[in-house]
Amino acid sequence: MDKFVIEGPTPLQGSIPISGSKNAALPLMAAALLGDSPTTITNIPKLRDIYTFNNVIRVTGCKVDFDEEDGILTIDPKHLSHLEAPYELVRKMRASFYMLGALLGKFGKAKVSLPGGCAWGPRPVDLHLDGMREMGADITLDQGYVIAEAPEQMEGGTFTLEPSSVGATVNLVLASVLRAKEFTIKNAAREPDVVLLCKKLVEMGANIEGIGTQTLTIRGVDTLEGIAIRNASDRIETGTFMIAAAMHPQSNVTLTNVDVDDLGGFPETFSKTGADMTINKDTIHIKAPETINPVSVKTEVYPGFPTDLQAQWSTMMTQANGKSSVTDTIYYDRFSYVPEVVRLGGDMDVEENTVHIEGKNQLKGASVMSTDLRASVSLVLAAMVAEGHSDVLRIYHLDRGYEDLEEKLTNVGANIKRVAQEK
């Protein structure tokens, strides 16, 4: 097991390329199973979750070729025949559950393990299953597996997602585009990942109305064909590096390969910190402020403030000049990073689903440990502005969602080394 050894504080100077989005890529990979010919997806990051899902797809009999150097993934569903996603793979990553919608939609049958993933918070799959039942599928549970069957054509119907859910929206779209007569999803997620998936399914031949709105209407078609797809750039990685650039007063960073339109309202909120931000077509330049303004935020569904950036934002607020608060309305218990940032010297206190932050604190190096992907990167950001030596443990979480993190940050001035953790 590896850890990061970080020496701080270090200003960041230079350019950081933004990688392809894992969260956008995984639904596209599942959609490739629905085609009758190969699909090629570019801008794919080298991440543990991508490798895991590649293996999940290979189990079904699909041919999967991943050119890691160029970020090109080709999925050929011609020999797809094994309609199962096993526990030993699905438990590693929740998004493997997209296999349920893809296999049910393509073949009318599926056996998929209940998912695993990050350790924090209950994220039940009830919405996925209830939506498929409303669509006309027969869903049963057997020894930790979901068994789904559907007739040649399901009548469909209308299903309202309460609350709105990216994962459930994706799974219901995958299940319905080939098999439902007419199916309407209300309160559908509007995140860029969902919009991209729906647009590419339409290019494959699907019939989907209302893309980008809260109401999606899908009318089943007979066949879909594989296509060439450019995966989106990672908006959460973009936001993370924007925050990293603002945290040290001497930092000056340019982010490249950015999908600016996918950032929703985040740039407007970020500008309130006092950072100097210039946005061009696919680049964002950040010059850190001398003093960070305290900015309180509340997470919301897209285009509101993303829950996947709340840990990073809270950490930045420890360096702001004054009091702030961060409230997570999406996941109430996503604050495992707080005691660890406190170990570094942050003045933070959690009350229900809100963390209250008193800035400005001079952080000092320490050993810290995290339990999920975004908490891990928030500790890296904190360690980079802390005085002295920090160890960030359990960085395998980071390898799930950030491509070449230490290399990108080291290239712009951070002092980060990956070393084997002593047992």
349 is in an annotated binding site: no
Same domain, 128 and 211: yes
Give the angle subtended at the CA of 25 by the CAs of 19 and 30, to the nearest 5°: 165
- The total number of structural domains in the chain stands at 2
In whole angstroms, give the CA distance from residue 64 to residue 77: 9
Is the distance from CB of 359 to CB of 292 less than 8 angstroms?
Answer: yes
Residues contacting residue 180 through CB under 8 Å, at least 6 positions apart? 135, 136, 153, 154, 155, 156, 218, 219, 220
Same domain, 36 and 7: no
pLDDT at 88: 85
In whole angstroms, give the CA distance from residue 79 to residue 63: 8
209 domain residue, yes or no: yes
In whole angstroms, give the CA distance from residue 278 to residue 271: 10
In whole angstroms, give the CA distance from residue 147 to residue 158: 22
At residue 138, what are phi and psi to the nearest 5 degrees?
-95, 120
Same domain, 253 and 211: no
CATH number, domain containing residue 285 = 3.65.10.10
Same domain, 135 and 196: yes
Same domain, 166 and 253: no
Same domain, 58 and 166: yes
At residue 320, what are phi and psi to the nearest 5 degrees?
-85, 160
Is the distance from CB of 381 to CB of 316 less than 8 angstroms?
Answer: yes
Helix (H) or strand (E) holding 47: none
In whole angstroms, give the CA distance from residue 21 to residue 23: 5
282 domain residue, yes or no: yes
User: Sign of torsion, CA 361 359 378 409?
Assistant: negative
176 domain residue, yes or no: yes
Same domain, 197 and 267: no
126 is in an annotated binding site: yes
In whole angstroms, give the CA distance from residue 223 to residue 145: 28
pLDDT in single tens digits along all 423 residues of the chain? 899 999 999 999 999 999 999 999 999 999 999 999 999 999 999 998 999 999 999 999 999 999 999 999 999 999 999 999 888 888 878 778 999 999 999 999 999 988 754 333 444 789 999 999 999 999 999 988 999 999 999 999 999 999 899 999 999 999 999 999 999 999 999 999 999 999 999 999 999 999 999 999 999 999 999 999 999 999 999 999 999 999 999 999 999 999 999 999 999 999 999 999 999 999 999 999 999 999 999 999 999 999 999 999 999 999 999 999 999 998 878 899 999 999 999 999 999 999 999 999 899 999 999 878 778 899 999 999 999 999 999 898 888 889 999 999 999 999 999 999 776
Active site residue 62: no
pLDDT at 121: 40
99 domain residue, yes or no: yes
Catalytic residue among 12, 25, 118, 412: 118
Which of 163, 194, 220 is the last residue in one of the domains? Answer: 220
Residues contacting residue 225 through CB under 8 Å, at least 6 positions apart? 35, 36, 37, 204, 205
Token code pair at residue 225: 């064909």
Which of 182, 197, 220 is the last residue in one of the domains? Answer: 220
49 is in an annotated binding site: no
Of 69, 12, 6, which is closest to residue 247 (Cα–Cα)?
12
226 domain residue, yes or no: no
Same domain, 12 and 26: no
Residues facing residue 100 across a β-bridge: none
Which of 152, 186, 220 is the last residue in one of the domains? Answer: 220
225 domain residue, yes or no: no
Same domain, 328 and 187: no
171 is in an annotated binding site: no
Reduced to 3 states (helix: H, G, I; strand: E, B; else coil), residue 397 is helix
Q: Write the DSSP symbol of residue 91.
A: T
77 is in an annotated binding site: no
56 domain residue, yes or no: yes
pLDDT at 423: 62
Q: What is the CA radius of gyration of the chain?
A: 22
Same domain, 250 and 216: no
124 is in an annotated binding site: yes
227 domain residue, yes or no: no
Same domain, 203 and 295: no
Q: In what order do the strands lie in the sheet with 354-358?
A: 297-298, 323-327, 354-358, 347-351
146 is in an annotated binding site: no
In whole angstroms, give the CA distance from residue 214 to residue 389: 47
297 is in an annotated binding site: no
Chain Cα centroid distance, residue 240: 12
CA torsion, points 343, 347, 349, 354, in degrees to nearest 10? Answer: -110
Same domain, 68 and 215: yes
Q: Which residues form the domain of 373?
A: 2-19+233-420
